[in-house]
Amino acid sequence: MPSCRESTRLMSEARERALTRGERVGLRLHLLMCAGCRNFGKHLDFLRGAAQAYVPGAAADDEAANPDSTSVTPESDAPTGR
């Protein structure tokens, strides 16, 4: 039976390829007994949905000063919060 590390690898790879029958059986067995890895599987689904909904930089829109872009001269009339 696969370890947790191995199971997370299989769950990750399952997003790019079909697992073999042996892999599926081993993974299923492991998941029956491991709540942490079951959670991991759910979180992977969430990660994909979040990545698709993500808009780069959107979170920084509220801030006039963008901390990681030091080259930016802040417009003096930019609102500090919206």
DSSP letters spanning 11-66: HHHTTTSPPPHHHHHHHHHHHHH-HHHHHHHHHHHHHHHHHHH--TTGGGGG-SS-
Please tell me whether residue 47 binds other proteins under the rule CB under 8 A: yes
Please tell me whether residue 51 binds other proteins under the rule CB under 8 A: yes
CB 41 within 8 A of CB 21: no
Please tell me whether residue 19 binds other proteins under the rule CB under 8 A: no
Instruction: Identify the residue among 18, 22, 33, 57 touching other proteins (CB under 8 A).
Output: 57
Residues at the site binding other proteins, with contacts judged by CB under 8 A = 3-6, 8-9, 12-13, 15-17, 35-37, 39-40, 42-44, 46-62, 66, 68-69, 72, 75, 78
